Amino acid sequence: MTVPQMDPPLDLADADLLSPEAVIDPYPLMAALRERDPVHWSERYRSWFVMRFDDVSAALRDDRFSSDRIAPYRRAKLEAADPGVQAAFGVLEDWMVFKDPPDHTRLRRLLNRAFTPRAVSAIRPRVLELADELLDAALARGGAVDLVGDYAYPLTASVIAEMLGVPREDHPRFKDWSDQITGLVFGSLGNPQRYAAGAAGLGELAAYLSELVRRHEREPAEDLISALIAARDDDDALSPDEVVSTGVLLLFAGHETTTSLIGTGLLALVRNPDQRALLEADPALAESAVDELLRYDGPAKTVARVMAADVELRGRTLRRSDRVFLCPASANRDPEVFTDPDRLDITRHGERQLGFGLGLHYCLGAPLARLEAAVAIPRALERLPGLRPVDTELAWHPVLLSRGLRSFPVHV
Ligand code: HEM
């Protein structure tokens, strides 16, 4: 690890994106870092934080910022760990998001054969139907509704589970598994029990999917698991373990983040009634609204990389094996790129935001996430016209990698 060469401004030396204030609203701290210490060394996290749009964009396209961050961690930290935790990290190690070329190229190419634009656009009517079922149930119950737990979460979980071919009666089990896996992927917050619970959840989910893969091998269906099994590139195909691991990735990536976008997006619109009125008056704005909501308060707070070589950046030396958090949430509020960046403006267009990443690992599920949010957000506003937040402090997930509400209770 590196000793920084220049001291950060005194008041930023101990900047903490997980302080209670920054978990609620990280943007003032991000603005200060962006301006005064844009490549920030954090002693607390023993990591670099890269804050400016240009630097984050360049790093996302630079292979010296490696995505292979599980294998070295597993070797360094987990040798003595519980076999369940070891096995769980084995599944994560097969995720393309944690791989560099050529392994990444191979997995992404095979997955592209299964996860096609056609498969995504075919799902639109089903998303609307599921959204309506959940809103009907919420309206029938009356009182307060949690737009995260009662709406966004079950909606996005059902969409990806149905796409994969998971039978409906098994969908509720995914919530527990997914909650547990969050501890493993987004960090244990210093609590080893979160790792153990994450490993247990991942183990159960992988066992469940292995059985599902075997069933689909015998009886192929019109779903993603069958498409993943069938995906071929010359003589290459995914191994059964890779199909399971990719299934876990899609289930996890497919709904944690999209849940956050729908929840936080609805909050942003409720807090900006002029923008909400604009969207309600013109549903054709849904697509650009989703892009702006991703920019304004999207789920990708940071993405992690490990340095594969020494790199000089704004007078700092990032050394090989250093951990780096590239910060799309900060880049997306960079005033060098976005006019009036702290203002929500759903008619904004032309500026490229980094909420789905950039480069080789650009979010594979972006079209699906866009579609889900563009259906779910306007539909909730339309069906719950009088919605207003319950008067209580909102709880946010206290993690570095992702930004999202734990719950968003509203009166309907
Ligand atoms: C609003 C929702 C979403 C957001 C904000 C989001 C964000 C991201 C980001 C920032 C990355 C790049 C990570 C990196 O560079 O390390 C990524 C990658 C990825 N996302 Fe998403 N994502 C969302 C929804 C989805 C959905 C719905 C799926 C699939 C069903 C999905 C599947 C993936 C996969 C497979 C990758 C890895 C791609 C690769 O490594 O080549 N995501 N996502």
pLDDT at 80 over 80: no
The finding on whether 88 has its CB within 6 A of some atom of ligand 1 is no
Rounded CA separation 151/159 (Å): 12
Within-domain flag for 3: no
Rounded CA separation 263/373 (Å): 10
pLDDT at 15 over 70: yes
pLDDT at 288 over 90: yes
- 212 Cα to the center of ligand 1, angstroms: 24
pLDDT of residue 73: 66
Nearest CA to ligand 1 atom 20: 363
Rounded CA separation 164/160 (Å): 6
Within-domain flag for 5: no
pLDDT 10s digits, 298-318: 999 999 999 999 999 999 999
CATH number for the domain spanning 288: value is 1.10.630.10
CB atoms near residue 273 (< 10 Å)? 10
Percent of the chain surpassing pLDDT 90: 69
Rounded CA separation 72/320 (Å): 12
- 17 Cα to the center of ligand 1, angstroms: 22
pLDDT at 159 over 70: yes
Within-domain flag for 4: no
Rg (CA), the chain: 21
CA distances from 104 to 108, 109, 112, 361 (A): 6, 8, 12, 9
CA distances from 31 to 10, 11, 112, 313 (A): 16, 13, 37, 19
pLDDT 10s digits, 352-371: 899 999 999 999 999 999 99
CB contact set of 130 (below 8 Å; sequence gap of 6+): 155, 158, 159
pLDDT at 188 over 60: no
pLDDT of residue 91: 82
The finding on whether 254 has its CB within 6 A of some atom of ligand 1 is yes
Give the burial string for 38-60 (b: 16+ CB within 10 Å, else e). bbbbbeeeebbbbbbbebbbbbb
pLDDT at 194 over 80: no
Domains identified in the chain, total number = 1
Confidence tier at 259 by pLDDT (50, 70, 90): very high
pLDDT of residue 187: 63
Nearest CA to ligand 1 atom 3: 257
Tokens 């096609």 locate to 116
Confidence tier at 25 by pLDDT (50, 70, 90): very high
Percent of the chain surpassing pLDDT 70: 94
pLDDT of residue 394: 94
Within-domain flag for 10: no
* CA angle 363–374–294, rounded 5-degree value: 50
Within-domain flag for 190: yes
Give the mean pLDDT of 286-308: 97
**Could you tell which of 61, 363, 371, 405 is best to mutate to test the pocket of ligand 1, judged by most ligand atoms within 8 Å of the CB?**
363
pLDDT at 4 over 60: no
- 43 Cα to the center of ligand 1, angstroms: 28
The helix or strand, by DSSP H or E, that contains position 383, with its residue range, turns out to be: helix 366-383
Nearest CA to ligand 1 atom 25: 365
Confidence tier at 81 by pLDDT (50, 70, 90): low
- Which of 48-62, 78-92, 265-279 is the least confident region? 78-92
Tokens 């804050």 locate to 51
The values of phi and psi at residue 292, to 5°, are -70, -35
Closest of 321, 325, 298 to residue 17, by C-alpha: 325
The finding on whether 212 has its CB within 6 A of some atom of ligand 1 is no
The finding on whether 363 has its CB within 6 A of some atom of ligand 1 is yes
Give the mean pLDDT of 255-268: 96
Q: For residue 358, which atom of ligand 1 is closest to its CA?
A: 15
Whether residue 103 contacts residue 246, with contact meaning beta carbons closer than 8 Å, is answered with: no
Rounded CA separation 324/59 (Å): 10
The finding on whether 263 has its CB within 6 A of some atom of ligand 1 is no
Within-domain flag for 1: no
Mean of per-residue pLDDT scores for the chain: 90
The finding on whether 356 has its CB within 6 A of some atom of ligand 1 is yes
Give the mean pLDDT of 365-379: 96
pLDDT at 92 over 90: no
Within-domain flag for 6: no
pLDDT 10s digits, 198-229: 888 888 888 999 999 999 999 999 999 999 99
CB contact set of 318 (below 8 Å; sequence gap of 6+): 2, 39, 48, 307, 310, 311, 312, 324
Rank 30-44, 173-187, 192-206 by mean pLDDT and report only the highest: 30-44
Nearest CA to ligand 1 atom 9: 356
pLDDT of residue 72: 67
Q: For residue 368, which atom of ligand 1 is closest to its CA?
A: 27
In terms of residue numbers, what domain contains 382? 15-411
pLDDT 10s digits, 386-407: 899 998 889 999 999 999 999 9
Helix (H, G, I), strand (E, B) or coil at 325: strand
Torsion of CA 106, 109, 113, 118, to 10 degrees: 150
| CB burial of residue 344 (10 Å; 0-12, 13-18, 19+) | buried
Residue 395: DSSP 8-state: P
The finding on whether 224 has its CB within 6 A of some atom of ligand 1 is no
Give the mean pLDDT of 70-89: 69
Whether residue 390 contacts residue 248, with contact meaning beta carbons closer than 8 Å, is answered with: no
Higher confidence at residue 116 or residue 79? 116
pLDDT at 2 over 60: no
Within-domain flag for 2: no
